[in-house]
Amino acid sequence: MTIREIISEPTPVLRKKAKKVDKVTSEIRRLIDDMVETMRVAPGVGLAANQIGVLHRVITVEYAEEPEQPAPEGAPPPKPALYLLINPEISRASREKIAGIEACLSVPGFAGEVERHTEVVVKGFNPQGAPVRIKAKGWLARIFQHEIDHLDGILYVDRAEKVWEINPGEMEDNV
């Protein structure tokens, strides 16, 4: 695995639409491995291939969902789940939307308030080429929407109501 450089604005590759993956080759699997490594080192909870300068429709997401009920005292923190998705698409989205604060690894030093669907269903393929379907809500749904936007050359700043400067490390959960 190789840690790749995360590309930041303004770079044309971030504004380009990534191409569908026709076949899951060893090159694609290597790309996914590199993306996981790069996302973890950043650190981030999501990464799209555009962000490392590759125009394939591939995203990685690693996020621990908050439990529905508050965890009892001393309980271990929720374990993050890793999602590796090829050709991801939002197949369903809730009518309901919610505003939340996002920061992007490709727009360092800024955060912004963005409205996203509260729930989405994401379809795609895993690295073995098998179809997957993920029902996501809350922050996980937000991360998927942010990453799939990247594949279409869209950054959160395009959708944000307002964007402001932040100090390094001020935001957790960069994507």
Cβ-proximal residues to 50 (8 Å cutoff; 6+ apart), any chain? 7, 13, 14, 16, 18, 150, 151, 153
- Candidates 29-37, 96-104, 118-126, 164-172: pick the segment binding Zn ion (CB under 5 A): 96-104
Paired tokens of 171: 């935001």
CB of 31 to Zn ion, least distance (A): 17
Toward Zn ion, which CB reaches closer, 10 or 129?
10
CB of 8 to Zn ion, least distance (A): 10
Give me the residue label for tokens 């650190």: 43
Among 35, 49, 54, 104, binds Zn ion (CB under 5 A): 104
Toward Zn ion, which CB reaches closer, 141 or 175?
175
Examine residue 49 and tell whether it contacts Zn ion (CB under 5 A).
no
- Candidates 27-35, 74-82, 100-108, 129-137: pick the segment binding Zn ion (CB under 5 A): 100-108
Number of residues that bind Zn ion (CB under 5 A): 2
Q: If 0-12 CB within 10 Å is exposed, 13-18 middle and 19+ buried, where does residue 45 land?
A: buried
Q: Is 113 a catalytic residue?
A: no
**Rounded to whole angstroms, how far apart are CA atoms 158 and 163?**
10
- Please state, as a whole number, how many other Cβ atoms lie within 10 Å of the Cβ of residue 69: 6
Which are the catalytic amino acids? 147
Residues that bind Zn ion (CB under 5 A): 104, 175
